[in-house]
């Protein structure tokens, strides 16, 4: 027969699965000699046996074991269970392997009945206290064990308080409470048809059943679902039976909760609150305001010393900050419960570093106790956690961080006001590459359309600016320069606050807290780098991104998206010229103008990153992304035609001009002083230009641009574009080398699906390389690699590795192709429901899908290394910054991950975890 009940003296304090977290800790504390009220634990296995049984009966021998334990408790305490003179009272508490605060049931003061009540009065000499305990017990037992609503109890209680004209419970006399007890017993009789059980063992049995049953209660089930607690993590609840101790039996009594260190700052100092002459629930209920534990040094100096001792012993034993409950009964300090303290990231990092220095933990433990994702708190500004305001609207949390600014409705205004020193938030239906200049000068970006991969989201994340995307409740009217959210109209200049971490949008300025890249964090991350096998690189497109990336500890650039360089307002016209070119010559002309610009870009990057790797991805998106949309062009042409009508009519008044507020019309007018004539030929020329662009936009139209004419497919159909980029990279390298700067240029080809594509590009790369080496008269080493973001590339990795010297998984695109989900569409249309219904546990665009995408990656890694043994393989894209994905990348043998700058610290810690946990 397996043992179902363990005294605190005998239970294995490490076995939380069997004893629950609370029970195991009570055993542990008892066994290391802390002063814990005597008690015992009924195992979680017993709970499962009970829940499995059809008859709803407790396992046969259980009550016998419990009786033995109760006898033993009686011996230890000198009290007797059910004794009319000196009754033993106990608490009955649930406690599973995972903490589920408040989700299951607790009963206090069990053992009271009309007989033992007398003994209690006699023992304490405090009639009021005894009746108060009794009425609490009746209600709690009635509710938990007998299933009676609080409502009739509360009604009686309030009634009597009204009758007595008292507002607080403490105003009730012993007699009042006695009357309440009487009425409560009547309620029980009325509701259950039976008298309140007087037999304490019956009380105990019913309570145990109730606690067991609460494991399958709706609250508990919902909680487990909400927090993804699986049956492997916690299965069934233990029941802890513990001798009652009372902090409310006089001024030498107290109760409190404390952390061994400050959970907000990590400071190595006892932190907590206590109340003299009070019960635990009073601290929680907030009926009286508890005092800071520091006051105890003067109020109860002796006990404060004991508490400090307790603190030291807890940390000394657990090697972890503890969050513990204590009660002082008649000058004796009892520890009722302890668990690892929950802290914010700043405190976690500081305590990790300090505990390591104190020798409490080693570096490995210091790293492992911190969830990498929690570092996010320290890396972005966030809303002041003290402030509570209601959100005005909600969108997708597209780029983390919080910021306030005045609403503006187009990029030009954002730039104008931003450069004038104003804080602005760019609010658009959606953004396009041509809005990029407005991003630089905005605090944050808010869009009413688009998902987490929309232009706004991706660019904002790259820049580390907060972004809320797809806030569908917001109606943006660019022409009126306003947005409507429900009844509220936001005009240009109105203040908003965005929280890109939650997706919330607030009206006005909400206080924010700055990011805290502390010296302890630096220390911790340097330890992480020591143990990690994966290198952490950053996605960065500009020298200033790169500078930040280095600050975050990036070991190189894993992804430089050259198209980002094209989006700059000065360059876009050149790019558009290249696109609308009617022939190769015209295109070459435009490319010749772009070459020196790109070369300068790369030179800047190389200089900042030297001597680290810089992996540059050639042009990836379909070129129509650089052009305005069909609708926009149509409306611009319409405006221009209107302008032409007016211009050919007569003089144009400034007022009328203002109506034509946006786009080309305004830009044209900016060139001429107002009020004056607009030169019709100028307008006609603009119309022609726009019309030919419209034609091009239509010709470039694609049904599924995600799967269209992009990446290497562009590089092959327009080799002159890739040639320009390759030349720019190699010439920039040569110029750096000439200055003695150590460069590691890597050229990476996107959207590859077959080795023939790589061969095609490699061929002209080699010839440009030879030209550059010759004309600069020096040696330029570079590496040539391929993205693995097309499924076929993975399937053909062995063959690709014959040409590519490195691989980088683009898991954004790869996940889209593997699932046949367009991220934008999926996140708007069905992914939320998929997650809700449990069809997918996670959003595969946030958490790498190991079973599908991951399996494919693993095959590709193995195939690739079959033909090139030392193949360097990494991952770029958003999964590269997610701890779970990083763990997987480590497992399948990748060499590096690359993620956006601010995620680098998270990735560094996650990489260390991956190396430490097997």
Q: Is 604 in the site for a second copy (CB under 8 A)?
A: no
Q: How far is the CB of 695 from a second copy (least distance, A)?
A: 13
Q: How far is the CB of 833 from a second copy (least distance, A)?
A: 6
- What is the DSSP track for 14-35? T-HHHHHHHHHHHHHHHHTT--
Please say if 876 is a catalytic residue: yes
Q: Is 855 in the site for a second copy (CB under 8 A)?
A: yes
Catalytic site residue from 437, 455, 882, 890:
455
112 within 8 A of 137, measured Cβ to Cβ = yes
Q: How far is the CB of 594 from a second copy (least distance, A)?
A: 22
Q: How far apart are CA 167 and CA 361, in angstroms?
A: 51
Name which of 149 and 472 has its Cβ closer to a second copy.
Answer: 472
402 within 8 A of 498, measured Cβ to Cβ = yes
Sheet of 106-110, strands arranged across: 5-7, 39-42, 237-243, 90-96, 106-110
Q: Is 707 in the site for a second copy (CB under 8 A)?
A: yes
Tell how strand 482-485 and strand 488-491 pair up. antiparallel
Name which of 357 and 829 has its Cβ closer to a second copy.
Answer: 829
Name which of 304 and 561 has its Cβ closer to a second copy.
Answer: 561
Q: In 700-735, which positions are buried (b, 16+ CB within 10 angstroms) versus exposed (e)? A: beeeeebbbebbbbbbeebbbbbbbbbbbbbbbbbb
Q: How far is the CB of 766 from a second copy (least distance, A)?
A: 17
Name which of 325 and 625 has its Cβ closer to a second copy.
Answer: 625
Binding a second copy (rule: CB under 8 A), the pick from 217, 250, 473, 708 is 708
Q: How far apart are CA 703 and CA 705, in angstroms?
A: 6
Q: How far apart are CA 874 and CA 541, in angstroms?
A: 18
Q: How far is the CB of 169 from a second copy (least distance, A)?
A: 50
Please say if 879 is a catalytic residue: no
Q: How far is the CB of 539 from a second copy (least distance, A)?
A: 21
Q: How many CB atoms lie within 10 A of CB 117?
A: 20
Number of H helices, E strands in the chain: 38, 31
Part of the chain binding a second copy (CB under 8 A), chosen from 152-160, 249-257, 381-389, 849-857 = 849-857
Q: How far apart are CA 286 and CA 759, in angstroms?
A: 72
Residues paired with residue 747 on neighbouring β-strands, in sequence order: 616, 784
Residues in CB range of 763: below 8 A, 6 or more apart: none
Binding a second copy (rule: CB under 8 A), the pick from 705, 741, 776, 842 is 705
Q: How far is the CB of 734 from a second copy (least distance, A)?
A: 30
Q: How far is the CB of 557 from a second copy (least distance, A)?
A: 25
Q: Is 852 in the site for a second copy (CB under 8 A)?
A: yes
* Contact pattern from residue 739 through residue 768 relative to a second copy, giving x for each residue in contact according to CB under 8 A and a dash for the rest: ------------x-xx-xx--x--------
Q: Is 703 in the site for a second copy (CB under 8 A)?
A: yes
Residues in CB range of 581: below 8 A, 6 or more apart: 587, 589, 590
Q: Is 635 in the site for a second copy (CB under 8 A)?
A: no
Name which of 84 and 791 has its Cβ closer to a second copy.
Answer: 791
In terms of C-beta distances under 8 Å and separation of at least 24 residues, what long-range contacts does 382-387 make, across chains too?
Answer: 382/499, 382/501, 382/512, 382/513, 383/497, 383/499, 383/510, 383/511, 383/512, 383/513, 384/510, 384/511, 384/512, 384/513, 385/513, 386/511, 387/510, 387/511
Binding a second copy (rule: CB under 8 A), the pick from 487, 838, 869, 870 is 838
Q: How far is the CB of 531 from a second copy (least distance, A)?
A: 32
Q: How many CB atoms lie within 10 A of CB 837?
A: 9
Name which of 242 and 712 has its Cβ closer to a second copy.
Answer: 712
Q: Site size for a second copy, by CB under 8 A?
A: 49
Coil/strand/helix, residue 355: helix
Q: Is 791 in the site for a second copy (CB under 8 A)?
A: yes
Binding a second copy (rule: CB under 8 A), the pick from 826, 894, 912, 914 is 826
Name which of 210 and 749 has its Cβ closer to a second copy.
Answer: 749
Catalytic site residue from 27, 242, 794, 876:
876
Q: Is 477 in the site for a second copy (CB under 8 A)?
A: no
With residue 732 as reference, give the H or E element that holds it. helix 719-738
333 within 8 A of 310, measured Cβ to Cβ = yes
Q: Is 849 in the site for a second copy (CB under 8 A)?
A: yes
Q: Is 856 in the site for a second copy (CB under 8 A)?
A: yes
Q: Is 499 in the site for a second copy (CB under 8 A)?
A: no
Sheet of 402-408, strands arranged across: 393-394, 504-507, 495-499, 402-408, 424-428, 444-447, 467-469, 396-399
CA angle 303, 307, 311 (to 5 degrees): 170
Part of the chain binding a second copy (CB under 8 A), chosen from 75-83, 269-277, 318-326, 851-859 = 851-859
Coil/strand/helix, residue 310: helix
Q: How far is the CB of 465 from a second copy (least distance, A)?
A: 23
Q: Is 98 in the site for a second copy (CB under 8 A)?
A: no
Q: Is 829 in the site for a second copy (CB under 8 A)?
A: yes
Q: Is 620 in the site for a second copy (CB under 8 A)?
A: no
Q: Is 593 in the site for a second copy (CB under 8 A)?
A: no
Q: How far is the CB of 564 from a second copy (least distance, A)?
A: 20
Binding a second copy (rule: CB under 8 A), the pick from 709, 783, 867, 893 is 709
* Contact pattern from residue 770 through residue 789 relative to a second copy, giving x for each residue in contact according to CB under 8 A and a dash for the rest: -------------------x
Q: Which residues between 712 and 731 bind a second copy (CB under 8 A)?
A: 713, 716-717
With residue 787 as reference, give the H or E element that holds it. strand 783-788
557 within 8 A of 543, measured Cβ to Cβ = no
Q: Is 706 in the site for a second copy (CB under 8 A)?
A: yes
Part of the chain binding a second copy (CB under 8 A), chosen from 109-117, 224-232, 484-492, 827-835 = 827-835
Q: Is 315 in the site for a second copy (CB under 8 A)?
A: no
Q: How far apart are CA 683 and CA 671, in angstroms?
A: 12
CA-nearest of 872, 192, 257, 860 to 535 is 872
Binding a second copy (rule: CB under 8 A), the pick from 218, 837, 869, 918 is 837
Name which of 752 and 910 has its Cβ closer to a second copy.
Answer: 752
Q: How far apart are CA 916 and CA 671, in angstroms?
A: 63
808 within 8 A of 875, measured Cβ to Cβ = yes
Q: Is 813 in the site for a second copy (CB under 8 A)?
A: yes
Binding a second copy (rule: CB under 8 A), the pick from 851, 869, 870, 918 is 851
519-531 and 345-357 helices, crossing angle to 10°: 70
Q: How far is the CB of 827 from a second copy (least distance, A)?
A: 11
Part of the chain binding a second copy (CB under 8 A), chosen from 43-51, 317-325, 474-482, 700-708 = 700-708
271 within 8 A of 259, measured Cβ to Cβ = yes
Tell how strand 322-329 and strand 254-259 pair up. antiparallel
524 within 8 A of 352, measured Cβ to Cβ = yes
CA-nearest of 777, 702, 787 to 747 is 787
Tell how strand 39-42 and strand 5-7 pair up. antiparallel
Q: How far is the CB of 807 from a second copy (least distance, A)?
A: 16
Q: Is 807 in the site for a second copy (CB under 8 A)?
A: no
Binding a second copy (rule: CB under 8 A), the pick from 278, 471, 580, 790 is 790
Name which of 665 and 715 has its Cβ closer to a second copy.
Answer: 715
Name which of 640 and 761 has its Cβ closer to a second copy.
Answer: 761
Per CB under 8 A, residues contacting a second copy are 702-709, 713, 716-717, 751, 753-754, 756-757, 760, 789-792, 795-796, 799, 813, 816-822, 824-826, 829-830, 833-834, 837-840, 849, 851-853, 855-856
Question: Catalytic amino acids?
Answer: 455, 876
């Amino acid at each position: 027969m397996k043992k179902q009940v363990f005294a605190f003296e005998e239970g294995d304090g490490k076995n939380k699965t069997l004893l629950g977290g609370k029970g195991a800790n009570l055993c542990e504390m008892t066994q290391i000699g802390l002063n814990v009220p005597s008690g015992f634990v009924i195992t979680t296995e017993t709970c499962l046996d009970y829940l499995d049984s059809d008859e709803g009966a407790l396992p046969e021998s259980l009550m016998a074991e419990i009786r033995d334990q109760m006898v033993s408790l009686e011996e230890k305490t000198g009290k007797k269970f059910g004794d009319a003179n000196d009754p033993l009272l106990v608490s009955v508490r649930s406690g599973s392997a995972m903490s589920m605060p408040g989700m299951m049931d607790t009963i206090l003061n069990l053992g009271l009945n009309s007989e033992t009540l007398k003994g209690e009065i006699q023992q304490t000499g405090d009639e009021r206290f005894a009746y108060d305990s009794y009425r609490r017990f009746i209600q709690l037992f009635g509710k938990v064990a007998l299933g009676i609503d609080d409502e009739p109890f509360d009604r009686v209680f309030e009634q009597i308080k009204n009758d007595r004209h008292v507002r607080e419970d403490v105003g009730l006399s012993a007699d009042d409470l006695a009357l309440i007890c009487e009425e409560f017993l009547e309620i029980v009789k009325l509701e259950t048809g039976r008298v309140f059980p007087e037999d304490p063992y019956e009380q105990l049995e019913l309570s145990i059943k109730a606690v067991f049953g609460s494991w399958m209660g709706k609250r508990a089930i919902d909680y487990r679902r909400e927090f993804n607690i699986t049956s492997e993590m916690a299965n069934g609840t233990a029941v802890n039976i513990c001798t009652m101790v009372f902090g409310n039996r006089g001024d030498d009594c107290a109760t409190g909760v404390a952390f061994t260190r400050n959970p907000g700052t990590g400071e190595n100092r006892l932190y907590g609150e206590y109340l003299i002459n009070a019960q635990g629930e009073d601290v929680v209920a907030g009926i009286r305001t508890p005092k800071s534990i520091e006051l105890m040094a003067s109020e109860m100096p002796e006990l404060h010393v004991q508490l400090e001792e307790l603190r030291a012993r807890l940390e000394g034993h657990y090697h972890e900050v503890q969050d513990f409950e204590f009660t002082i009964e008649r000058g004796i300090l009892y520890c009722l419960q302890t668990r690892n303290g929950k802290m914010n990231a700043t405190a976690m990092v500081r305590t990790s570093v300090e505990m390591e220095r104190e020798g409490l933990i080693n570096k490995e433990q210091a790293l492992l106790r911190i969830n990498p994702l929690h570092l996010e708190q320290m890396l972005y500004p966030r809303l002041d956690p003290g402030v509570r305001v209601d959100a005005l609207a909600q969108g997708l949390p597209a780029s983390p961080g919080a910021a306030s600014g005045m609403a503006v409705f187009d990029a030009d205004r954002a730039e104008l006001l931003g450069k004038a020193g104003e804080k602005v938030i760019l609010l658009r239906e959606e953004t396009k590459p041509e809005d990029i200049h407005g991003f630089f000068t905005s605090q944050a970006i808010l869009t009413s359309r688009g998902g987490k991969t929309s232009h706004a989201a991706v660019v904002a994340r790259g820049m580390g600016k907060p972004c809320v995307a797809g806030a569908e409740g917001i109606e943006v009217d660019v022409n009126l320069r306003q947005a409507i959210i429900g009844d509220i109209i936001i005009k240009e200049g109105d203040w908003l606050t965005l929280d890109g971490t939650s997706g919330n949008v607030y009206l006005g300025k909400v206080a924010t807290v700055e990011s805290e890249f502390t010296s302890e964090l630096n220390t911790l991350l340097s330890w992480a780098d020591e143990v990690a096998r994966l290198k952490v690189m950053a996605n960065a497109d500009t020298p200033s991104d790169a500078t930040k990336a280095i600050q975050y500890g990036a070991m190189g650039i894993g992804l430089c998206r050259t198209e980002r360089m094209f989006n700059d307002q000065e360059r876009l016209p050149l790019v558009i010229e290249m696109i609308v070119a009617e022939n190769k010559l015209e295109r070459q002309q435009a490319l010749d103008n772009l070459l020196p610009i790109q070369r300068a870009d790369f030179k800047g990057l190389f200089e900042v990153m030297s001597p680290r790797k810089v992996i540059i991805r050639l042009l990836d998106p379909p070129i129509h992304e650089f052009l305005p949309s069909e609708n926009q062009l149509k409306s611009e042409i319409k405006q221009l035609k209107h302008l032409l009508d007016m211009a050919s009519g007569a003089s144009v008044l400034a007022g009328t001009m203002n109506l034509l507020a946006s786009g080309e019309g305004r830009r044209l007018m900016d060139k001429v002083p107002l009020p004056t004539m607009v030169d019709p030929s100028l307008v006609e020329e603009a119309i022609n230009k726009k019309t030919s662009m419209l034609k091009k936009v239509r010709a470039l139209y694609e049904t599924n641009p995600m799967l269209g004419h992009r990446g290497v497919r562009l590089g092959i159909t327009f080799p002159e574009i890739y040639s320009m980029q390759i030349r720019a990279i190699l010439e920039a390298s040569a110029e750096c080398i000439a200055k003695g700067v150590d460069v590691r240029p890597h050229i990476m080809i996107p959207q590859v699906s077959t080795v023939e594509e790589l061969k095609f590009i490699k061929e002209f790369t080699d010839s440009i390389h030879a030209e550059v080496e010759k004309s600069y008269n020096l040696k330029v080493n570079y590496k040539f690699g391929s993205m693995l973001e097309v499924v076929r590339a993975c399937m053909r990795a062995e063959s690709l590795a014959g040409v590519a010297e490195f691989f980088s998984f683009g898991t954004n695109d790869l996940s889209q192709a593997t699932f046949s989900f367009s991220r934008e569409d999926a996140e708007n249309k069905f992914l939320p429901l998929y997650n809700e219904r449990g069809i997918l546990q996670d959003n595969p665009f946030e958490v790498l899908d190991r079973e599908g995408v991951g399996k494919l990656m693993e095959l590709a890694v193995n195939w690739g290394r079959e033909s090139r043994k030392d193949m360097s393989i990494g991952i770029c894209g958003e999964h590269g910054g997610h701890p779970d994905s990083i763990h997987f990348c480590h497992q399948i043998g990748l060499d590096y991950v690359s993620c956006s700058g601010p995620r680098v610290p998270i990735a560094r810690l996650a990489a260390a975890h991956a190396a430490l946990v097997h």
